[in-house]
Amino acid sequence: MTDVHRAFLFTTAMTFNEQLNREKYVQLNSQVKDIVIVGGGTAGWLTAGLLASRLSSRVQSGKLNITLCESPDVPTIGVGEGSWPTLRSTLQSIGVTETDFIRQCNVSFKQGSRFVNWQHDRPSQYDHPFDVPQQASQGAEAQHWLSTQSQEPFSQAYCLQTELANNNLAPKLITTPEFTGFANYGYHLDAALFAEFLREHCIQHLQVKHVLSNVKQVEQDENGDITCLHLAVPSQDNSNHPDHINGDLFVDCTGFRALLLGDTLGVCNTQVDDVLFANNAIATQLPYVEQNSPIASFTESTAQDNSWIWDIGLPNRRGIGYVYSDRYCDEQDAHRTLVKFLQKTQQNTDTLSYKQIHFTPGYKQQFWKNNCVAIGLSAGFIEPLEASALVLVEMSANMLAEQLPNTRSCMDVIAKRFNQTFTYRWQRIIDFLKLHYVLSRRSSAFWQVNRAQSSVPDSLKELLALWQHKVPDMNDFPARDEVFQAASYQFVLYGAGFKSKLLSTPDKNLLEAAEQQFLSIQGYTSQLTNKTISNRDLLSKIYRYGLQKR
């Protein structure tokens, strides 16, 4: 080979490599302009709404496009019907009115959770209300309650919501402006109606593009990034139905299947079935016997021999389901247990339909890989206790909106941060849910194995060791946005009968503040229960008149 040939080949190779490098540079530094959400339901449409509203200036200027592609063949699971108070600010931020939401989504007010017969085999109950005692972060109320050896339930001593729930009372009046109340509240809702409500709002008001189609193939580049979704075009559709969607960032909201993050990118689950044993649920919808039946203020969770039953009151029905472990209970036994529970208030259960759901408790080892983020059931599912699924969707979508990478080159740094944040959150949720089981003294095999030390995470063991001699406070929960904060642990610990033996004398000023709150709650509760109205009466007024806008 002559020197001329060598020079030509070298120059050609350099030119080719430079071209590749230039293309790679352009790819890494081009702006993230097209976000594609795959999967609808509550997770998909809530994510779309939060992204489109929080990034509205970019969407309206055409610098950012948000497309949601959902299958016409996959219905919303529609089991989880409980939300947290965070949903109020979420709905406000995406621009819907509370009146429209309540009227269109079969909504009632949720003020917390009630745990029936969890403490032991005898009748008992304790509450985890949404109202937070004023000094909860410092543990003042818990220290006051322990030091006075009060016989009054902890939640009732420092929070008015137990009394409101005992009387099925609402957290606000018809004259109270939208999204505000004299008591903290979230919602019970119909998940299928909520998804439809969000879809309509996102399409009509937030410029979210909607594609109704099945994904038949996912295309990736040489680095594994998803570049394109190839769609199944209906044979009868002669319109401009797209046969593919290109994107810069993909959000997987495809539920348990995890089509993008799981099937395509190969991210596996971190299974936690050695910590939390429930892996099945059987659910039904029970009409009220009387049209004017009371609507409960709390989600009620009633312990059974092989786990627990949820009971959620909506305006026109109750949503009821039995969560259980198939290690201790088969499907037929679960059905019999649920029917027995239903027959306490409804003799005729023969006409009811039941939905069976199997799940493996766990969460993804990565929630964000390459240019794909999983939100909702595709990111993980533990069990319905304490209704954390929806708030995780809100947190995930908000963090994605806040830290949306401008270019592909900075995506990996943000993905690492996202993964660290949500791994921590899932682990803390597992700790908190496990706490409910660890504190129970029920005697059946299911409950005994839940108390076994081998099933308790080390992180929870450490906290329980600390709380032998101190109350939970903000120092035990270092993250900026903890899912469950000190007050939640206090309500469950002391509601379930745990007793911290305080070795040091509590701060006098904190005790005095807690004493004042105790006295004011007692007085305020009696006044409030006299002037407020029932959940059903308030909802009737909202249907008729609507709430005042802020």
Residues belonging to the binding site are: 40-43, 110, 215, 377, 386
Residue 305 to residue 323: CA distance in whole angstroms: 11
Q: Quote the strand ranges of 296-439, DSSP E.
A: 299-304, 307-313, 317-324, 354-358, 362-364, 368-369, 372-374, 380-381
- Secondary element (H or E) of residue 81: none
Q: What are residue 407's DSSP bridge partners? A: 31
**63 phi/psi in degrees, rounded to 5:** -85, -10
Q: Give start and end residues of each alpha helix (H) in 242-385.
A: 331-342
Q: Quote the strand ranges of 41-100, DSSP E.
A: 65-70
Contact 309, 302 (CB under 8 A): yes
Q: Give start and end residues of each alpha helix (H) in 133-261.
A: 140-147, 154-158, 161-166, 191-205
Number of neighbouring beta carbons within 10 Å of residue 181: 19
Which residue ranges make up the annotated binding site for FAD?
40-43, 215, 377
Residue 449 to residue 275: CA distance in whole angstroms: 10
From residue 516, alpha-carbon distances to 389, 490, 511 in Å are: 36, 19, 9
Q: What are residue 311's DSSP bridge partners? A: 300, 320
- Considering only CA atoms, which of 406, 327, 394 is closest in space to residue 361? 327
3-class DSSP state of 369:
strand
Which residue ranges make up the annotated binding site for 7-chloro-L-tryptophan?
110
Q: Which strands form 307-313's sheet, in the order they lie side by side? A: 125-129, 112-116, 299-304, 307-313, 317-324, 280-287, 354-358
**197 phi/psi in degrees, rounded to 5:** -60, -45
From 110, 172, 364, 434, the catalytic residue: 110
Q: Give start and end residues of each alpha helix (H) in 452-507.
A: 458-466, 486-495
Active site residue 508: no
Residue 165 to residue 157: CA distance in whole angstroms: 14
Half-sphere exposure of 31 (CA within 13 A, CB side): 6
- Considering only CA atoms, which of 135, 153, 170 is closest in space to residue 522? 153
Residue 37 to residue 310: CA distance in whole angstroms: 31
Sequence-ordered list of residues with C-beta below 8 angstroms from that of 428, at least 6 positions apart, any chain: 459, 477, 479, 482, 483, 484
104 phi-psi bin (left φ>0, alpha ψ -120 to 50, beta other): alpha
Half-sphere exposure of 420 (CA within 13 A, CB side): 7
DSSP letters spanning 279-309? -EEEEEEEE-SSTT----SSEEEEEETTEEE
What is the set of active-site residues?
A: 110
